[in-house]
A and B are shown apart, each in its own frame.
Chain A
Amino acid sequence: MKRFGILLLALAAFALGQSPLEKLKSALDRLRGPAHQAVYALKVERPGSSRTYRLRVYTDGERAHLRVLEPKAEAGMAFLSLGQDLYLYDPRLGRTLRLPPSGRSERFLGSDLTYQDLMGRDLEELFQVTEEGGTLRLVPKPGAPTPYGRVEVYLREGFIERVLYYDQRGQAVRELRMGSYQRLDGAYLPRTLELKDLTRQGYRTLVEVTEVQVGPVPERCFSPLYLERGC
C-alpha cells in the first residue's frame, strides 16, 4: 500500500512537472496507440443517410497503412502515411498515387475525418500550447498553415477526451470525442471516436476500433510497393 502511494506521488509529480507541450505529446501518443493492427469501423452519417466502412489498419504510432475491406465498391483502396508523404492505391485505377502534403487535410473517404485526424501530429507542430484549468489551449504559430483560430484539448488523467476546433471568430466548428480507452499490454488506444461537423447539422463520423493486436508491424507494411498487394 505504501509502495502504491509512493508510485502515485511520483506519477503526480511527473504530471505536474510536464510542460503543456509535453502533456499534449504524451496524450497524442496515447491517442495514436502503440504499434498495432486493428479493424476500424468507420460510420459516416449524413442527414438522411449513412455509410459504413471497415478498414484494416497497421500502424507503429508514427506511420500508418490503412486498407478498405468494406463496402465492396471501395474494397482494396489503401492509404499509406509516412510523415509528410501520403500515398493512395486505387484498385479502379490500378496504380499508386503520391498525394501532395495538402492531401493530409482532405476528408478521408468522404467522412468528417481528415488523414491528419487519423495519422497526423499537426497539433504539436502547428500550434503553441498553453494550459488553462486542466485544458490545453492551442493557438496557431505565426504563419502556421491551419485555418483554425484555436484548438482546445480536454484531458482526463492524461488521455484526450475531447478536442474542440474553433474558427477565427471564436465559434466551435469541429468536435472530436474519444469514447473510452482500452488498455493493451501497458499501452492505450481509444475504443471509439466521434467527430462532428458543428457547422452542419447531421454531419457526424463514428470510428470504432476492434480486433486489436498489439505488437510490431512488419516493415513492408510501410512501403508504397505493398499498398497494392497488401502486407
Chain B
Amino acid sequence: MSLLRLAWRNVLRQRRRTALLSLVVVYVTVAVLFLFGFLDGYGESLVEAYAQYVEAPVVVAREVWWQDPDPENGFRELPAVAHPLVQAATPRLSLYALLRSPYRVQGGVVLGVDPEGEKTLSRVPFKVSQGRWLSAPGEAVLGQRLAERLDVRVGERLVVETGKGALGLLVVGLVRAGVGNVDFGGVYVHLEDARRLSGGRVLATHLALKVPRGKEEGVAQALNQALPEGLRAQGVWELMGPIRADYEGSRLFYVPLLGLFMLLAAVAVVSTTYVSVRERLREFAVAESLGLSPFRLAAQVALEAALASGLGLLLGLLLGYALLWYTSTHDVFGPLMRLSVELLPESGLSEHLYTALRPVYALYAAMVVGLSALLALLFPGRLVLALEPTRYLKGE
C-alpha cells in the first residue's frame, strides 16, 4: 500500500508530464473503443441486412445449387426440415431474368416467394413504401431505386423474361428497405410465376429458415448432420457475398493497427518514465540505502507508469463510451452509408450503421496500462535494478 501511495505521489509531482502522458492514453483508448464499436456495428448491420432482407438466417438448398445457382438445380420436391430452433420456413425460387420497361432493359435476379410465407421470415414485405405487397400471381414488387431506373410505376406492367419464358407482371408495390440489394435490385414475384419463368420443372431453388439471432451458424451445422445427402444448409455468415471478405479484411487490418497504437502509447509512457527515473536516480539511491529493495523500487517505477496510463484510460473510457453511446443511438453514419450504398448497390450494405457498445472493449483498451507497466519494468526498472547507491550517494 505504501508503494502505491509513493508511486501516486510521484505521478502527481510532475503534473504536466502526467497530463501529457495521460492524453496519449486517452487518445488511444478512445480510438480502440471507437474502432471496435464501429467494426462490430458494421458486422452486425451486415448480418441484419442479409438475415432479414437479402437472404435469410439459414438457407437450405441442394449441394448442386450451391455450386451452380441455376433454377434447374432446385428442388423437385420440398424437403422437410426439423429443428427446434427453426421458427418458420418458406420456399423461394431465384432466377436471373431480363426486366423490360418501355424505356429500359436491365438484367437482375428475380425472387419468387410465397407472399404469406415471406411475411413470417423477411422484413421486406413490411417495407413497402408505395402500393402493397404481393398477394396473387401476375404481380411484382420492385425495389424503389430499381423502379426508378427502369422508370416503372405502381400499376404499370413490367416484362420479366428468362430463357424459358416471359411474363408481363403488374407492379403492385415498391419497396424502400434501406438495404442496397433490395432497393436497387429487388424483384419479388409470386412463386407460381417464378416456376413458370423457370420452365415449371422445379418447385423452389432453396428453403429460407428463420432462426433466433446468433444461432444461425449452429442451426446450419446441426441441420447438416440431419439433412439427407445432397442437401446443405448455410448460415447467414456463409450467405454473405464479397462484403464478408471486406468486413473480415477490415478486422484483419484494424486490429493489428490498434495493437500498434497501443504499443506506441505504452512506449510514449515508458520513455517519459525513463527520463523521469534518470532524473531521480539519486532519490532512488537514497531509498535503496534506507532499506527499500531494488525490486520494490523497480515495481514502484512500473506502478508509476501504470498509474499515469491508468488515469488516461479512465478518462478515455469515459469519452470513448460516451462517443459509442451516441453513435449507437444516432444515425451519425447515415450519410456515409447512403453514399456507400449508392457506390456499391449490390453489396448488401445497409443505409444505417450504428456502432456496437460492449463492456469487453474496456478490457482491450486496458491492455495499454498493462503494457506500459511491463515495459516500465523492463526498461526504466532495469536502471533502478542496476543502480549503485554508494556511487550516487557520494555524488559521483
Contacts and interface: CB of A to CB of B under 8 A. Distances in A.
B163 A100 contact: yes
A176 to B, nearest CB: 14
B167 A143 contact: yes
Given A145-B160, A145-B166, 18 more contacts: A102-B98, A102-B161, A102-B162, A102-B163, A140-B168, A142-B138, A144-B168, A145-B100, A145-B168, A147-B157, A147-B158, A167-B102, A167-B103, A168-B156, A169-B156, A173-B102, A173-B103, A174-B102
* A-B complex: 3 closest residue pairs judged by Cβ atoms: A102-B161, A100-B163, A145-B166
Contact of A145 (B102, B156, B161, B164): B161
Contacts of B100: 102, 105, 145, 147
A139 B69 CA distance: 37
Nearest to B170: A143
Nearest to A147: B102
A59 to B, nearest CB: 24
Contacts of A173: 102-103
A167 B168 CA distance: 14
Main secondary structure of the interface of A (DSSP, over half): loop
A146 interface: yes
Contact of A102 (B138, B157, B166): B166
B102 A140 contact: no
A149 B101 CA distance: 10
Interface of A: 100-102, 105-106, 140, 142-149, 165, 167-169, 173-174, 199
Contacts of B160: 145
A199 B166 CA distance: 24
Nearest to A143: B168
B228 interface: no
A139 to B, nearest CB: 11
A183 B20 CA distance: 98
A99 to B, nearest CB: 9
Q: Looking at A142, A147, A148, A165, which has the most chain B CB atoms within 10 Å of its CB?
A: A147
B222 interface: no
Nearest to A173: B102
B105 A168 contact: no
A229 B163 CA distance: 27
23 contacts: A100-B163, A101-B161, A101-B165, A102-B161, A102-B162, A102-B163, A105-B100, A105-B105, A140-B157, A140-B168, A142-B138, A143-B138, A143-B169, A145-B167, A147-B101, A147-B102, A147-B159, A147-B168, A149-B102, A169-B156, A173-B102, A173-B103, A199-B102
Contacts of A146: 157, 159, 168
A68 B192 CA distance: 41
A199 B157 CA distance: 18
